[in-house]
Each structure stands twice: as structure tokens, then as C-alpha cells.
Amino acid sequence: MDFSVKKLASDAGVFFSRAVQFTEEKLGQAEKTELDAHFENLLARADSTKNWTEKILRQTEVLLQPNPGARIEEFLYEKLDKKIPVRNTNADLLGQYMIEAANEFGPGSPYGSTLIKVGETQKQLGGAERDFMHSASVNFLTPLRNFLEGDWRTISKERRLLENRRLDLDACKARLKKAKAAEAKAAAEHELRVAQTEFDRQAEVTRLLLEGISSTHMNHLRCLKEFAEAQATYYAQCYQYTLDLQKQLGRFPGTFVVNSPHASSPPVSPTSAATIPVVSAVAGASNNTTTVDSMLNLSDVKPPSSGTRKARVLYDYDAADSSELSLLADELITVYSLPGMDPDWLIAEKGNQKGKVPVTYLELLS
């Protein structure tokens, strides 16, 4: 008989023997060699690592790219080993639309110039987002994928081999029990010794791979720290860009702003202004159009007898010139307005210091 035919017949016999053993185990008609508790714990830990790595990987992909169509496109580029084209973020597109609108409305107009400022900031935010996405992909997603597509596949392959070796071992044990003649018993005992040796060898290989999961956890821990650092850098950049924008918008005349007592960071897109009663600082000044900006000496400005209010500072503020007052978050100050004063600004006093402050940085108290 040809060697290939013999090999095929032998493989078929082994497969049939394993199938019979597996079926009888499921029916409770055959005994099964159990792995020790330590080995079972290693298997459970490996399965848990694989399952949670998959979930973390998928959800991180959703976080970085919420568009499922774009994710599929990037996946195909990756499988085809082609460079993924640079894709504009939503912030990039918004910034571009704002700048184009400003050019049509007139970049010199209040609305147009503000659109340009906000649009440029959106582009900065888009750049920061792309940097974060790239860093997270290289330093976090890639190691997770490498584990699932590399180490885990190797572990799965060796586990399947171990299961086959166990089925062979238990099938040999069953044949030995059924053997009656001395010659048949001797043959069954020899097969059992060979099967036991192969099972023990495969169990050791699989055990070493499973114990390597601890190294995988350490590697993923380093990657997780890099992901957290990249995310912190990204949000810090976004905060700084929007804070700079808010300071610029605070100096635009007629800009409407939000003053929310529950805000944790300076608002980026203000919509309404918080105001306090405007009272006269000088007798007969009801028709006076003098603004605080035109006053030569703020130290001469006296607070009105009524209309002053307490305010809590929401965010740190650095004075741009000598007419403004630097603030620290959570400070309590006294504020008031003057006739002709820009409604987006107030006069603030803390101790012997006095100066203008933007309304957006304050929570007005009753």
C-alpha cells in the first residue's frame, strides 16, 4: 500500500478514535483525564485575558473613530498593507467651514473675525485629536492586536493539540481496560505509555505559554500608561486652545458669553451674558459714555453705594494689561459695573487691588 494511503488511513483511525472518546465522555460513558487546579486556573486566566483584551480593543477603536464606515475602511487598508489616508476630523471640517463663511461674510466684520478665531481653534483641536489617535493606535491598539493575532493564536493552537493528546490518552486507557488477551494488553500498555509521554510533553509546552500571560499583562500595563499619558496630553492641549480662544473672544466688543455656575472649564461657545445692575459712579453721569477702558487711573474709581455683588472666580485669569486684574480660581471678590462699560466685563476688587475682569470667569452670587 502506498505511504500516503497508509498515512491517510492512520489519520482517519486517530480521528475516529478521538470522536468516539469525546462522544462517550459527553454521554458519561467514559472517564476523562482532568488537569490539575493550577493548570485550570492558567486556562481561565488566559481566556479572561483574551476576552477582555478583545472588548477593550474594540471599544478603544470606537472611541478613536466613532464612524463605523471609517473603521471598516481603515481595517481594509491595514489588511491590504496600504497606508491609511489622512482623514480630516470633525473639528477640522468645522474650522474650515467657519473660515470659509468668514471670508464670505467679511473677515473684517465682528462676526467674520470671530468666525476666523473660532475656526482656527477648531483646526488646532483637530490636529491635537489626530496626534492623540495616532499615538493611541501605535502605542496601545497595536500591542493588543499583536497579542490576539500572535501569542493568543499560538496558545489556542497548542491548547487544541493538548486536547487531542488527552483524547488519545483516554482512548488508550479505555482500550487497555477492554483488552483481554495478554498480547492485546501488552500492545495497549505500550500505546498508553506513548500517549502519556506525548500528553505530558504537550501539557508542559502549553503550561509555559499560559504562564507567559503574566508577561502579557505587564506589557499591556506599560501600553495602558502610555495611552493615559497621550490622552492627558490631548485634553491638556484642548483646554489650552479653548482657554486661549476664550480670552480672545472676551476682548471682542458685543460678544455674548455664558456664565454657568456648574461649569468646570471656560466655555468655548458662549451664548448669553450675566449682568448686574448698572449704577452711576459719579453724580450726574447718567448720560456719560465714558468707558472703563478710557479711564486713566482705576484707583480713582469708587464703587457705587449699591449694586455691588460678590462673585466666585471659576477659572484662573491672567491680566493682559494694567487695567485688568489677575484672578485665581475659587477666590471671592466684589464686582460692579459702570455706565458705558462693555457688558462682558466688570470691575473687580480684592483687598486693595482693582481691575477689569471678564464676566465669563465669574459666578455671580446673590
Model pLDDT for residues 316-353, shown as the tens digit of each residue: 888 888 889 999 988 999 998 888 788 888 999 998 88
For 251-280, the pLDDT digits (tens) are: 544 444 444 444 445 543 333 333 333 333
In order of 118, 219, 362, the CA distances from 359 in angstroms are: 19, 48, 5
Cell of 140: 496601545
Place of cell 476688587: 349
Residue whose C-alpha is closest to residue 56's, from 130, 123, 140:
140
Count CB-CB contacts under 10 A for residue 279: 16
Cell of 347: 470691575
Q: Are 309 and 358 in contact (CB under 8 A)?
A: no
CA atoms within 13 A on the CB side of 73: 11
For 177-214, the pLDDT digits (tens) are: 888 888 888 998 999 999 999 999 999 999 999 999 99
In the chain, % of residues over pLDDT 70 = 77
What pLDDT is attached to residue 132? 95
For 92-119, the pLDDT digits (tens) are: 999 999 999 999 999 988 899 999 999 9
- 3-state class (DSSP) for residue 263: coil
What pLDDT is attached to residue 76? 66
Q: Rounded distance, CA 133 to CA 70, Å?
A: 13
For 52-81, the pLDDT digits (tens) are: 999 999 999 999 888 777 667 666 666 666
The full DSSP string for 74-91 is: HHHHHHTT-PPPP---HH
